[in-house]
Amino acid sequence: MTEQSGASGLFPQEGDADGKAPPCAMVLFGGAGDLTKRLVVPALYNLAVEKRLSDNFQLVGVDLVSKSSQEWRDGLAGSIKEFVGAEGEYEINKFDEAAWNWLTQRMSYVQGDLNDPETYRSLGAHLAGLDRNCGTRGNYLFYLAIADRFFCSTVAHLGEASLTKEEGDCWRRVVIEKPFGHDLASAKHLNSEVLKSLAEHQVYRIDHFLGKETVQNIMVLRFANGLFEPLWNRDHIDHVQITAAETVGVERRGKFYEITGAMRDMVPNHIFQLLAMTAMEPPISFDADAVRAKKTEVLEAIRPFDEISALKDVVRGQYGAGSVLGAPVQAYRHEPDVAYDSNTETYFACKLMIDNWRWSGVPFYLRTGKHLTRRTTEIAVRFHQAPFTLFRGTDVEKMNPNWMVLRIQPDEGISLEFAAKQPGPTVKLSTVSMDFAYKTYFKMQHGTGYETLLYDCMTGDATLFKREDNVLSGWRTVQPILDAWEKNKPADFPNYASGGSGPAAADELLARDGRYWRPLV
């Protein structure tokens, strides 16, 4: 079978004329887990509401927990109703019982140990029955909603059971959640092991950030508007800031976070994907491989860090006690399952350069952190300031900077900040803003960020998924930082108060260049 690729879900490759995905059985490894309840099944419910799933769709849960198919359905019902009733980013009117019933009629459960080959034989027999009785046509989508330590063995067992083998017109795909490796060596090993049982076109490395409409809109903003793309280069842009700030702490994920930290958790995946879409060259088409090749190209153009630059141009921080959104919170080192002298970072910032023609000399500043003053994810593009010459002899003291801000969450939209004259007899400038908000122009559905991605998996569109070279390029960039940190332990943790904007060293990082972070407040 040849690889099927195409543009992001707007142009489905294998779906029906009415936009429905093709028939398939989706197998959820980790069917009783948290990811399934909070994100994957709610996303499938939304697709059912929108009538984007095939009438021959089937959902199979696989987990070690012993339960019947009915018990599995009943256990998920409460989560769906909580999801619908939640105060999320978008409004939703009511629980659609007909759509939920439609989905539950297509749900079944297989109990089994992921390390036991018998589990995969039982699953294969179950799937063969769905092919015969429910018209799934041998199309299988395996979703690994499980701990990353099971990725390699689960894929190997699927291969040994011939469940990844594509014959005739049927397709077999595997969705792998992050973390896709913990460093460059582990990412290479995981890729190598996975590709023993699968071809690259069968692997869908998922990043839910790329399922957000505002992230996908970055390419449309740049390449569908003649106004912006001619300005998108070193001649007009002074620098770019990418921020992913959270108000939450590690909560009860101490065990996970102690071995991961802010950089591994956010930078090689989420933030580098935002960077790639912001900085990539125009692809020749929206074909999946054309888009992903340009993403990889720009990541490979990042100037390599060495030990000196990894310590000079990178900031790490860890939150202390403080107050977030008016409530007192404890320091990271006092969180459950965290070492009393932990050196794990909860904040990361860096300056990096992209050594290509478009971006030569333009710094990109990245930051992410927990327990900060405000939750926001945005890409802020700062344009060069206009010359001051014309305004000599007026009351204008300095030129106002121009910003284009792409808000990814929570208030999705785009704003353009520019200078305007204040009313009055003399020339005084003020910064004003033109603002586009998604919720004002479009009907936004309450979503998890997985809806588009799951639909793309079923239609064979890999545009929004990371290819092997894309993953390795991200890890290759941050590996020197990991190595430098291993040799140079922080001496000042905790170094920022919860509820603030991060450590002072992050402000100093930009101040050295005569720049400043956009305020989080």
Query: Are the C-beta atoms of 336 and 251 separated by less than 8 Å?
Result: no
Distance in angstroms (rounded) separating the CA atoms of residues 273 and 463: 12
Query: Which distant-in-sequence residues (6+ apart) come within 8 Å of 301 by Cβ?
Result: 354, 355, 356, 359
Q: Looking at this protein, which amino acid is placed at residue 414?
A: I
- Is 270 among the residues known to form the active site? yes
The CB density around residue 364, as the number of other CB atoms within 10 Å, is 19
Residue 317, C-beta contacts closer than 8 angstroms, at least 6 positions apart = 345, 346, 347, 348, 349, 369, 493, 494, 495, 496, 502, 503, 505, 506
Of 157, 239, 270, 371, which residue is the catalytic one? 270
Q: Coil, helix or strand for 483?
A: helix
- Tokens representing residue 35 in the block: 């990811």
pLDDT in tens, the chain (521 residues): 334 433 344 444 555 557 899 999 999 999 999 999 989 999 999 999 999 999 999 999 999 999 999 999 999 988 787 777 554 443 445 788 999 999 999 999 999 999 999 999 999 999 999 999 999 999 999 999 999 999 999 999 999 999 999 999 999 999 999 889 999 999 999 999 999 999 999 999 998 888 777 788 898 899 999 999 999 999 999 999 999 999 999 988 899 999 999 999 999 999 999 999 999 999 998 889 999 999 999 999 999 999 999 999 999 999 999 999 999 999 999 999 999 999 999 999 999 999 999 999 999 999 999 999 999 999 999 999 876 556 565 655 566 788 999 999 888 899 998 777 768 776 677 677 789 888 888 776 667 889 999 999 999 999 999 999 999 999 999 999 999 999 999 999 999 999 999 999 999 999 999 999 999 97
Helices (H), 17-137: 34-35, 41-49, 69-85, 97-104, 117-134
Put simply, whether the predicted model's pTM sits higher than 0.75 gets the answer: yes
Taking the C-alpha atoms of residue 193 and residue 189, their distance in angstroms, rounded to an integer, is 6
Phi, psi of 447, deg, nearest 5: -135, 165
Length of the chain: 521
- Displacement of CA 193 from its chain's centroid (Å): 24
Domains annotated on the chain, with CATH: 25-206 (3.40.50.720), 211-445+480-511 (3.30.360.10)
